[in-house]
Amino acid sequence: MWIDDLYSDSERLMRELDADYVRTMYGQVKWDARMMCLMGARGVGKTTMLLQRLRELSQGGAKALYVTLDDLCFTSHRLVELVDYHYLHGGTHLLLDEAHRYPSANWALELKNIYDKYPRMHVAFSGSSVLEINSKQADLSRRCMFYSVPTLSFREYLEMEGAGHLDALALPDLLGRHVDVARDVAGRVKVIEQFERFLRKGSYPFYRDENTDYGMALRQMVSTVIETDLPAAYKLEHATLLKLKQLMNIIAHTVPFVVNVQNLADNLGSTRKTVIRMLDLLAQAQLINLLYEGKTKLQQMAKPEKVYLANANLMYALSPSEVNVGTLREAFFADQVGSGHALAYSGSGDFVVDDRYTVEVGGRRKSFNQIKDLPNSLLAIDGVEVGQENKVPLWMFGFLR
């Protein structure tokens, strides 16, 4: 019976799970909610988190089942058949992976119906494409708790590399205690060496897989997002997909990337409006970060001022011979800080954080000249283990999550 095969697969995957590190976010998720969703880019570890939850539930005596919704059985069977069987046989939890790849276009409606018809069933689901899930949230918004799973922080990377437990810091705490924290971390690991490794290879948990060509895997991920995930969420013509790939290539090989929409439109054979739309699509797919002059919706209707690849690892994967150190530093800052704080373009420094702090990013010789007259200004300095006063080591901004 097809359902028996799903139970066998679930048990095998849990037994073979080789993931000793539990991400900090795992403890922040309200797993006991009746319905919750893990959203995020491909490769950030959503499947691992679901399987870790399966293991936790099984050890606690609950009857839980993990299923990936792109399984071939769902081409001829509906999810509700599985849910009904699981429920009638004492099932209490369902962990559904790759929800957006369920063959039916009405996957969100089916989940809503499951929520309404099986009040004692706990459902956790994930989707590799934040786009498809975002486009369906209206159907589930009153029933489901949504969590965005980011790439690894530098702090998490250090923990995975054996540095021991390291606390995440709120931004005001980091700015107030950075000297003491930096001394503690530098006493445990060669932090600059580890930071340089992280920039090359460390944003995605699968960097530890020795059998994977990491750079090739990232390039394939970018192609899959553009060729598969984006068309699943939006009606995009083949020509548009080719232009999206071309745009990614331009961004990867142009450093630093200050946006000139008209030049891009000319190069791509598109209109200004289309270029802005394509940039927005790539940002929603978490392949790039866009930096606007302001943080309001009205301000962000205009063109972005700067564009960064989503993280430093993508820079090395897509243009390894053309990595600009200045852009690399800024991309790291945008990645690590932007996932939890509002970032805006600053004409004086590099970033304005939460409409309060002006930050200039640079090497150890960077001075305050550009931002000396601005309140709450600080330097994020690369290449130093321990900072002083308003000169904060760049790597420490990887401790915000």
Per-position DSSP letters for 82-134, written without gaps between them: HHHHHHHTT--EEEEE-GGGSSSTTHHHHHHHHHHH-TT-EEEEEES-HHHHH
Max Cα–Cα distance, the chain, nearest Å: 72
* 170-198 residue pLDDT tens: 999 999 999 999 999 999 999 999 999 99
* 212-237 residue pLDDT tens: 999 999 999 999 999 988 887 788 89
Per-position DSSP letters for 54-87, written without gaps between them: HHHHHHTT--EEEEETT-GGGGTS-HHHHHHHHH
Structure tokens belonging to residue 383: 């290449």
Query: Which DSSP letter does residue 308 get?
Result: E
pLDDT at 295 over 80: no
The confidence band for 30, taking pLDDT boundaries of 50, 70 and 90, is very high
pLDDT at position 94: 97
pLDDT at position 348: 86
Per-position DSSP letters for 331-347, written without gaps between them: HHHHHHHHTTS-EEE-S
pLDDT at position 391: 96
Query: Which DSSP letter does residue 229 get?
Result: I
| 79/47 Cα distance (integer angstroms) | 19
What is the DSSP pairing of strand 145-149 with strand 377-381?
unpaired
Query: What's the whole-number average pLDDT of the chain?
Result: 91
Residues 6+ apart with CB under 8 A from 185: 158, 163, 166, 191
> Is the Cβ–Cβ distance between 30 and 36 less than 8 Å?
yes
Percent of the chain at pLDDT above 90?
77
> Is the Cβ–Cβ distance between 348 and 371 less than 8 Å?
yes
> What average pLDDT does range 322-349 have in this prediction?
94
By C-alpha distance, which of 82, 106, 85 is closest to 96? 82
| 253/200 Cα distance (integer angstroms) | 16
pLDDT at position 105: 73
Any idea what the Cα angle at residue 98 is, between residues 93 and 100, rounded to 5°?
115
> Is the Cβ–Cβ distance between 120 and 88 less than 8 Å?
no
> Is the Cβ–Cβ distance between 40 and 284 less than 8 Å?
no
Q: Which amino acid is at 283?
A: A
Structure tokens belonging to residue 110: 């089916």
Residues 6+ apart with CB under 8 A from 26: 49, 52, 53
| 372/366 Cα distance (integer angstroms) | 12
Name the CA radius of gyration of the chain, rounded. Answer: 22
How many angstroms separate the first and last alpha carbons of the chain?
44
By C-alpha distance, which of 62, 61, 81 is closest to 71? 81
- Give, in order, the Cα–Cα distances in Å from 360 to each of 114, 352, 387, 397: 50, 9, 14, 13
The confidence band for 301, taking pLDDT boundaries of 50, 70 and 90, is low
> Is the Cβ–Cβ distance between 161 and 39 less than 8 Å?
no
pLDDT at 29 over 90: yes
> Is the Cβ–Cβ distance between 396 and 333 less than 8 Å?
no
pLDDT at 284 over 60: yes
Percent of the chain at pLDDT above 70?
95
pLDDT greater at residue 234 or residue 304: 304
By C-alpha distance, which of 206, 52, 74 is closest to 126? 52
pLDDT at 300 over 60: no
Domains of the chain: 2-149 (3.40.50.300), 156-399 (no CATH)
**pTM to 2 decimal places:** 0.91
| b/e burial code for range 168-192 (CB count within 10 A of at least 16 → b) | bbebeebbeebbebbeebbeebebe
pLDDT at position 135: 60
Classify 318 as helix, strand or coil: helix
Q: Which of 84-88, 295-299, 343-347 bottoms out in mean pLDDT, i.e. has the lowest?
A: 295-299
> What average pLDDT does range 248-274 have in this prediction?
89
> Is the Cβ–Cβ distance between 166 and 186 less than 8 Å?
no
pLDDT greater at residue 399 or residue 139: 399
* 106-144 residue pLDDT tens: 888 899 999 999 999 999 999 866 655 666 665 787 889
The most confident of the ranges 195-204, 224-233, 265-274 is 195-204
pLDDT at 347 over 90: no
pLDDT at position 127: 82
pLDDT at position 99: 86
pLDDT at position 271: 92
Q: Which of 15-24, 153-162, 325-334 bottoms out in mean pLDDT, i.e. has the lowest?
A: 15-24
